[in-house]
Amino acid sequence: MDNKRNRGVGNKYLALTCFLILILNACKNEPKQIIKEDIAEVEEVQYVYEFGFKLDDYIVKRDTIKSGDTFGVILERNNIGYPKIFHIAEKAKDTFDIRKLQVGKPYTILCSKDSLELPQSFIYQPNKEEYVVINFKDSIHAFKSRKPIKYVEKTVTGVINSSISETLDEKGVSAVLTNKLADNIYAWTIDFRRLQKGDRFKVIYTDKYIDDTIYGGIHDVKAAFFEHNKEPFYAFQFETDSVKGIIDYFNEEAKNLRRAFLKAPVKFSRISSRYNLRRRIAVYGFKVRPHKGTDFAAPIGTPIMATANGTVTKSERRGGNGNYVKIRHNATYETQYLHMKKRNVKVGQFVKQGDVIGWVGMTGNTGGPHVCYRFWVNGRQVDPFKQKLPEAKPISDSLKTKYLEFIKPIKAQLDSIHFENQASQENLNQNQNLITQNY
């Protein structure tokens, strides 16, 4: 009996083994399935940085300074108490005076990324390029910095049909270029109010970009060529004094295009009262009240410019002059600017021709907004319009050779720029010549 039982068990194991072998063989013959794993593509995260901070780490609040806003008011509005505000202001005062926040200027507050949203940094932008950071996340510290600036050289050409401003506007070029050409470069050689149809120009200038994307306007003009009444006028920018930062424009023969004095200290104004030693005024019973200045009427706030390079000798408010500035230009000439709303220079400061030294106002004895422009020659007040004023200081002999070498490649670059339709016209002329020769 035991032998029969053992044989039965053995047969069962044998049958089970055979069955397993058949299944394994069948699996081997099955076509293999390749299981592909989906691998997620991980995109590189692009973080946003500004003012030296990774903005993704903060809740960013942006606004502009409103009327009535102060540093304290802004921070208190964002849940910072006055004891801490006072402490922050004291620590930051050596870097930035918080009382100088100007209405309309942008500011940014970086807040903690939690439910409290407590301010940790205050950033103020007095202009597009500069910014002030007052950081109080851990310790309090402040610093000033500038955004990265990129300069891109560009060229433009045009033919005058009505005005240069209209011509440049059609090309999408900033009106600032018109002002630079008319007021800074060619102010003494070309009257832009009397341009002729067909006059043409080409300019090499530099555009400024802040943070690579924000257009900061036209930075400067490297060189220009203007053809007015068929007469060519070249202009090349050149620094004549690196210490004082004096930059002038000269022609291809190294002659200065500028005159020593501007014709007026304000733009777009009219003369409301001339220099007159026998002037009678009704307010004073028609008594003779000499007027030793020239009045230029202009709206309040109009910038007043230094008419020539010089050093500020007076900047104060006194009696009938109101707010005024006086500048000594050399041993012979001085100028004075009266009735300013506000002064923009200090005594001892060197100013360049065209620098803004103040703004038109009505301080002192004045019946309307204007600047009284006074002109001294050897200590005596005179009428500037009756003076034979000198030309600007010529380039020195030592610099002339350097200048002529400096402008060679720039002039070649300028000359190689084609006017509108000039290239197509030249190609047409060449084709006509070929046809004539073949004929």
pLDDT tens, residue by residue, 76-117: 999 999 899 999 999 999 999 988 899 999 999 999 999 889
Q: Tens of pLDDT along 241-274?
A: 878 778 889 999 999 988 888 888 998 677 887 7
pLDDT-wise least confident of 130-144, 162-176, 255-269, 294-308: 255-269
Q: Which has the closest alpha carbon to 250: 90, 403, 47?
A: 403
Q: Which has the closest alpha carbon to 140: 88, 196, 86, 202?
A: 88
Q: Calculate what percentage of the chain has a pLDDT beyond 70.
A: 82
β strands within 68-213, DSSP E? 106-111, 119-124, 130-135, 141-146, 149-159, 200-210
Q: Tens of pLDDT along 319-347?
A: 989 999 999 998 889 999 999 999 999 99
Q: Tens of pLDDT along 201-217?
A: 999 999 999 988 888 88
Q: How many residues does the chain have?
A: 439
Q: Tens of pLDDT along 351-391?
A: 988 899 999 999 998 888 999 999 999 999 998 888 877 77
pLDDT of residue 264: 87
* Mean pLDDT value of segment 43-63: 87
pLDDT band at 416 (very low <50, low <70, confident <90, very high): very high
On whether the CB atoms of residues 340 and 363 are closer than 8 A, the answer is yes
pLDDT band at 36 (very low <50, low <70, confident <90, very high): very low
Burial level of 291, CB count in 10 A (0-12/13-18/19+)? middle
Cα 384 from Cα 274, distance rounded (Å): 10
Q: Which alpha helices (H) appear in 162-305, and where do they start and end?
A: 164-170, 175-179
Q: Rounded to two decimals, what is the model's pTM?
A: 0.62
Q: Which long-range contacts (CB under 8 A, 24 or more apart) does 110-118 make?
A: 110/53, 110/55, 110/58, 110/59, 110/60, 110/61, 111/58, 111/59, 111/60, 111/61, 111/78, 112/58, 112/59, 113/57, 113/58, 113/59, 116/79, 117/59, 117/78, 117/79, 118/78, 118/79, 118/80
Tell me: pLDDT of 155 over 50. Answer: yes
Residue with tokens 């060519």: 232
* Mean pLDDT value of segment 36-53: 69
Centroid of chain to Cα 87: 35
Centroid of chain to Cα 106: 16
Cα 321 from Cα 295, distance rounded (Å): 13
What one-character DSSP code corresponds to residue 6? H
Structure tokens at 49: 């940085």
Q: Which superfamily is assigned to 270-386 in CATH?
A: Glucose Permease (Domain IIA) (2.70.70.10)
pLDDT of residue 216: 87
pLDDT band at 163 (very low <50, low <70, confident <90, very high): confident
Break the chain into its structural domains and give their ranges. Answer: 49-146, 149-250, 270-386
Helix, strand or coil, per DSSP, at residue 125: coil
On whether the CB atoms of residues 369 and 360 are closer than 8 A, the answer is yes
pLDDT of residue 437: 47
Fold match between 49-146 and 149-250?
yes
Cα 189 from Cα 391, distance rounded (Å): 12
* Mean pLDDT value of segment 19-33: 54
pLDDT of residue 285: 58
pLDDT of residue 438: 47
* Mean pLDDT value of segment 228-240: 93
On whether the CB atoms of residues 372 and 339 are closer than 8 A, the answer is yes
Q: Which has the closest alpha carbon to 315: 350, 264, 290?
A: 350
pLDDT of residue 439: 42
Q: Tens of pLDDT along 166-176?
A: 999 888 898 88
**What's the chain's average pLDDT?**
84
Top CATH class, 49-146: alpha beta
pLDDT-wise least confident of 98-102, 148-152, 187-191, 278-282: 278-282
Cα 122 from Cα 96, distance rounded (Å): 12
Fold of 149-250: Nuclear Transport Factor 2; Chain: A, (3.10.450)
pLDDT of residue 428: 44
Cα 377 from Cα 135, distance rounded (Å): 54
pLDDT of residue 397: 87
